[in-house]
Amino acid sequence: MRALQLQRLDGPDGLQLVDVPEPEAGDSVLIDVVAAGVSFPDLLLTRGQYQLKPALPFIPGVEVAGVVRQAPAGAAVKPGQRVMAFSFGLGGFAEVAAIQPEMVFPIPAGWSFEAAAGVVMNYHTAHFALHRRGRLKAEERVVVHGAAGGVGTAAVQVARGAQARVIAVVSDARKAEVARRAGAHEVLLSTEDWVSQVREKTGGLGANVVVDPVGGDIFDKSLKCLAPEGRLLVVGFAGGRIPEVQVNRLLLRNIDVVGVAWGGFLLHEPSLTPTIAKDLEAMAERGVLTPVVGPVFPLEQGAQALRELDARRATGKVVLRMREG
């Protein structure tokens, strides 16, 4: 099978298109991959900057969508079924993937393989962030940073599905249109005084929840726009700088800074996965979830796909296309 293999920790330039043996099915679901999601952790992996540090060479990629070729007894999916999946063991940037059955889900009717390829990690992360870690309630005010990206658009839609009021923050007008299309009620530009605008649009109260996959200065400013008992959800650091906080600010203003690590949490509580999947499926049936697909690259251009993420040019979910589905 064709696969993109990381052979050097040189960032995207370390990727090489190779021909390697197909994975063994074993107790896994064997999937003929049609499309694979490209994520920020993939970019960090190519530089050796992610917490997971597999030995070289390896095949990156954790999100795929395709058709089941083979499934073990007792699996919830069957051969020939259109599925989307998440792989803890990487290997997604390839034409065939073997993934544990509990992380393989049917694709909702009407969704393309490209749309489904970026769903499991982004939407499960958004749901875990907002509900389990953020304790979101109906009618609360949610600010979503990076709201035109894969995690951001997912967070906008999951928050709307919980009847929250969503304020998106993006860096330019092009991304603002994507955030609106994802379902944000209001869109603000990070190049302006968005902190004051959040307070104005919330009647001076501030946000109940802030979803932050960016970090850096965005995190620092987000602390200033939280309502009393507000929760700032730390999802990632796409902006580069890992921020620090003086905890007296949390004490004086009665606010929380909350870590969000969906994948790591599943190692402690795997039973959370079917609960989240059921809720997301219900939202998909109601039409609340409509994945925003960004640029789609052929497999051989995987390095360029990662560069789009690195430059923060991409909107929606960046996807690699393996074959016609």
Task: Provide the pLDDT for residue 313.
Answer: 83
DSSP secondary structure string for all residues of 275-289: HHHHHHHHHHHTT--
Within a domain: 94: yes
Are residues 95 and 163 located together in one domain of the fold?
Answer: no
Are residues 148 and 111 located together in one domain of the fold?
Answer: no
Are residues 251 and 303 located together in one domain of the fold?
Answer: no
Note down pLDDT in tens along the chain; length 325 residues.
999 999 999 999 999 999 999 999 999 999 999 999 999 889 999 999 888 899 999 999 999 999 999 999 999 999 999 999 999 889 999 999 999 999 999 999 999 999 999 999 999 999 999 999 999 999 999 999 999 999 999 999 999 999 999 999 999 999 999 999 999 999 999 999 999 999 999 999 999 999 999 999 999 999 999 999 999 999 988 887 899 999 999 999 999 999 999 988 988 898 999 999 999 999 999 999 999 999 999 999 999 999 998 888 888 899 999 987 6
Query: What one-character DSSP code corresponds to residue 93?
Result: S
Are residues 95 and 146 located together in one domain of the fold?
Answer: no
Question: In the Cβ-directed half-sphere of 46, how many Cα atoms lie within 13 Å?
Answer: 26
Question: Which residue reads 């304790």 in tokens?
Answer: 135
Asked which of 211, 240, 259 is the last residue of a domain, the reply is: 259
Within a domain: 275: no
Are residues 139 and 250 located together in one domain of the fold?
Answer: yes
Q: How many residues does the chain have?
A: 325
The C-alpha atoms of residue 173 and residue 142 are separated, in whole angstroms, by: 20
DSSP secondary structure string for all residues of 121-186: HHHHHHHIIIIIIT---TT-EEEEETTTBHHHHHHHHHHHHTT-EEEEEESSHHHHHHHHHHT-SE
Within a domain: 285: no
Are residues 62 and 151 located together in one domain of the fold?
Answer: no
Q: For the chain, how many structural domains are there in total?
A: 2
Task: Provide the pLDDT for residue 325.
Answer: 66
Q: Is 272 exposed, middle or buried (0-12, 13-18, 19+ CB in 10 A)?
A: middle
Are residues 167 and 193 located together in one domain of the fold?
Answer: yes
- Full-model pTM: 0.92
CATH number for the domain that contains residue 60: 3.90.180.10
Within a domain: 280: no
Question: Which residue reads 């870690």 in tokens?
Answer: 133
Q: Which domain holds residue 33?
A: 2-118+292-321
Are residues 15 and 57 located together in one domain of the fold?
Answer: yes
Are residues 243 and 142 located together in one domain of the fold?
Answer: yes
